[in-house]
Structures are given as C-alpha cells and as structure tokens.
Chains A and B, each alone.
Chain A
Amino acid sequence: LAKTTQPISMDSYEGQEVNITCSHNNIATNDYITWYQQFPSQGPRFIIQGYKTKVTNEVASLFIPADRKSSTLSLPRVSLSDTAVYYCLVGGFSGGYQKVTFGTGTKLQVIP
C-alpha cells in the first residue's frame, strides 16, 4: 500500500488561498489520488480526484506532478466553514483487489 504523509496542521486567514501537499513516494501505476474533507463526528466528504496533471472543480484544484510522488490540494479563498481535517487518499485496483490508504490528515484552521 502506498504510504502518504501530510502536514499535521495549517492555519490560514479568511480569503486566502490554501495549498495542502500530500507525499506518496511509492504510489503504484494504477493508483489514483482523492482528497476528502472531514468535520468532527461526520463522515469524510469528497472534494476532488485525479490521476495526473491538474484537475479543477467548483471547490478546489488538484495538482499532480509528472512523477506522481506528491499531490497538492488548492482551496481558493477559504472561509471559516472550511475549517476541517483534509485527507489525501491513494488507492487503486490491483490484482483483483481494491487497495486504499488514507493519509494522516491535515487540520486546517481558518482564522477571521
């Protein structure tokens, strides 16, 4: 399973762009990268998913370099409601089985 590493915590002021990086040095060829947001005592909520290069949706962007050994979640203009834990998930379908690994999570605190 691909091991992932994220910063434990980050602080940001409201209205700023936040970038959270996840390292996954031993990512497998068919692994994809997914980011989730989690509030206390709730299930993780899907943010964005990608395989390579850049993916953008209405809430975030995901940057994946050519070697795929890391990925960066970019949240534009954060608000107080974005205070949560953000998880990087690396997983794929290999040999008939689904293998997934959650990262350690980054606790984002948005400051007024």
Chain B
Amino acid sequence: ETGVTQSPTHLIKTRGQQVTLRCSSQSGHNTVSWYQQALGQGPQFIFQYYREEENGRGNFPPRFSGLQFPNYSSELNVNALELDDSALYLCASSLDRVETQYFGPGTRLLVL
C-alpha cells in the first residue's frame, strides 16, 4: 500500500504567476486536505475535498482553489502568486472526513 505522494518536490515561480500542485491520496482514502506551512510555523488549513466536493475551507483567499478527481487524487491551484505564498504545501488524505489524516512529504514552493 503506497502512502500519500506529492509532486513536484520543489518549485520556483515568480510573483504573479500561477502554480498547480498535485497529490495522490493513500489507497482507499476519499478525503484530501491541503495545508500551507510557512517556515517555522505550524500548518495552516487551506481546504478539504470529500468525494470531489469542497468540504471545508480555512482563511485563504479565492485565488487558492482546488480539485479532486474521481480517483480521489487532488490538485491545489494558486493564482497571482505573492511572495508570502512561499511555503511548504502539504497534502493529507483520510479514509473519510473525520478520520485520521496521513500527510505527504510536501511541495516546497519559492516565489521570487
């Protein structure tokens, strides 16, 4: 059984660009959550997807959007990148909406 995987591992973008990050959930998991972790800070909840629908959202602007596919993999899209978007982006999957979340290794995004 494979765990949660994320791609790419690292990414460099410039301010104003758009980025798409990808996540493959653990086998059998139908729920994916995304988090942003700035250096030295705890992860901040962005949103959660359950069976292809958004199931909860943290305090992030609409330029942060997502998708979940029928195979329960997921994408995080960020438009109009800002310098403060530089962070480690974590994806976590769970068997269901309130079950234990298992995290991937993250994607390190640097915005210049």
Contacts and interface: CB of A to CB of B under 8 A. Distances in A.
Interface of A: 32, 34, 36, 41-46, 49, 87, 91-93, 96-105
B56 A43 contact: no
Nearest to B90: A43
Nearest to B96: A93
A98 B90 contact: no
Given A32-B98, A46-B100, A98 B106 contact: no
B106 A102 contact: no
Interface residues of B, number: 27
A99 B4 CA distance: 21
Contacts of A93: 97-98
A99 B27 CA distance: 23
Interface in B27-43: 31, 33, 35, 41-43
A100 B45 CA distance: 7
16 contacts: A34-B101, A41-B108, A42-B106, A43-B4, A43-B105, A44-B43, A44-B90, A44-B103, A46-B102, A46-B103, A93-B98, A99-B56, A100-B48, A100-B56, A101-B45, A105-B42
Contacts of A46: 100-103
B56 A103 contact: no
B76 to A, nearest CB: 14
Of B42, B57, B105, most A-chain CB atoms within 10 Å: B42
A96 B55 CA distance: 7
B66 interface: no
A49 B43 contact: no
B42 A100 contact: no
Contacts of A41: 88, 106, 108
